[in-house]
């Protein structure tokens, strides 16, 4: 069952996909939603509550992924450009989760609320707490 994004999420996705042709509008939408989304967004991405979401410009997100509110998908350090996360298809990123650094998250991974991920995770696992990977 596919759930439709709320209006605010549709606005964020539209503005992000047009960030090169409408940079001021993109920035205005990001400020309105208190979000910074600069990566290319895939088909089927879901933002049920698109507030406070920060996504690195070089992050790669797979199709049909759900990203909840207050999520950060970005680098580990401001001083060392070490890369951005790659998230597989069909993942769920819970509220307040942090995915940091050049990590690879497999397909169909569930990342719990307020989890911190700084290492790779295989397909189909569940991540809770700080890098606590539970294999299904």
> Looking at domain 7-134, what is its CATH homologous superfamily?
Hexapeptide repeat proteins (2.160.10.10)
pLDDT single digits (tens) 92-126: 999 999 999 999 999 999 999 999 999 999 999 99
* Spatial separation of the C-alpha atoms in residues 86 and 108, rounded to whole Å: 13
Task: Quote the pLDDT of residue 121.
Answer: 94
pTM more than 0.85: yes
pLDDT single digits (tens) 19-38: 888 889 988 998 999 999 98
Task: Name the percent of the chain lying above pLDDT 90.
Answer: 63
Task: Quote the pLDDT of residue 1.
Answer: 44
Nearest to 84 by CA among 96, 99, 94, 95: 99
Please say whether the beta carbons of 120 and 102 come within 8 A.
no
* Spatial separation of the C-alpha atoms in residues 123 and 88, rounded to whole Å: 8
């Amino acid at each position: 069952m596919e759930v439709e994004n709320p209006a605010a999420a549709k606005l964020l996705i539209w503005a992000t996909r047009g960030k090169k042709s409408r940079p001021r509008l993109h920035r205005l939408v990001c400020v309105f939603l208190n979000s910074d989304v600069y990566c290319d967004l895939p088909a089927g991405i879901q933002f049920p509550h698109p507030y406070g979401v920060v996504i690195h410009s070089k992050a790669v997100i797979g199709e049909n992924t759900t990203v909840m509110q207050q999520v950060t998908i970005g680098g580990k350090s401001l001083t060392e450009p070490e890369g951005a996360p790659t998230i597989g298809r069909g993942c769920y990123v819970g509220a307040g989760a942090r995915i940091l650094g050049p990590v690879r998250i497999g397909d169909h991974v569930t990342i719990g609320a307020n989890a911190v991920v700084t290492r790779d995770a295989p397909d189909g696992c569940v991540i809770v707490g700080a890098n606590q990977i539970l294999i299904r």
